[in-house]
Amino acid sequence: MSLLTGRVALVTGASRGIGRACAIKLATLGAAVVVNFNTSATAAQGVVEEIRAGGGDARAVQGDVSRLAAAQGVVKAAIDAYRRLDILVNNAGTTRDGLLAAMSEEDFDGVIQQNLKSVFNCSKAVLRQMMKQRYGRIVNVTSIAGVVGNPGQTNYSAAKAGIIGFTKAMAKEYGPRNIAVNAVAPGYVPTALTSGVSPDIAAGIVRLTALGRMGTAAEVAAVIAFLASDEASYVTGQVVAVDGD
């Protein structure tokens, strides 16, 4: 029996990058996986097909989880399909970088909505089912930017810092219901989200790491999978840096 056999996981923003790697990792460990996406239907279906080709169980569910009603719909679809929901990985997010003086209100609000409000929406939406089960594992994808800040990313850094506070507070609220809530804080990982980073800046980030290299989405997914499993049954309210340092 695999580590997550019998578990059902929902991964938001799972059509690419860290979300994709996470969906595939959870499936290889035996979980049935709901692959959430907003606009990338073809990519999301590709993730589902890869999981099924490996003998796993997965399905894609569309929904802009930055909106509460849509997040509730995605969660309902997952529960309707599998009759339970054990694991939530809040991964959906975006960037709209720029120096604060030139940043529009729309770019600030949009990043807060996509990165932080989506965590609230999905976490709130899964609570009833997880409390009914008296079991749940929630893993929020924050960022090192939320810990130390990044120039040109006041909006993103604020959203990711907010996720850290949210994680710690929710862990205290729902630990008595056997719902563990943790976060991972990736460093620089080449994905579509970081594709706009210039080679010079990327090289500078790498020089600051102890390991002297970039991370991979699979390395982040491995830590998420650990936190989503019963191997981490006495871990909650933590922020695990996956940053090579």
Q: How far are the Cα atoms of 30, 92, 129, 167, 212 from residue 87, in angstroms, in the given order?
A: 12, 15, 11, 15, 33
Catalytic residue among 82, 156, 174, 188: 156
Could you give the maximum distance between any two Cα atoms of the chain, in Å? 55
SS3 assignment for 76-99: HHHHHHHCCCCEEEECCCCCCCCC
* H/E element, 11: strand 8-11
156 counts as catalytic? yes
Euclidean distance between CA atoms 191 and 170, whole angstroms: 28
Q: Which residues are marked as active site?
A: 156
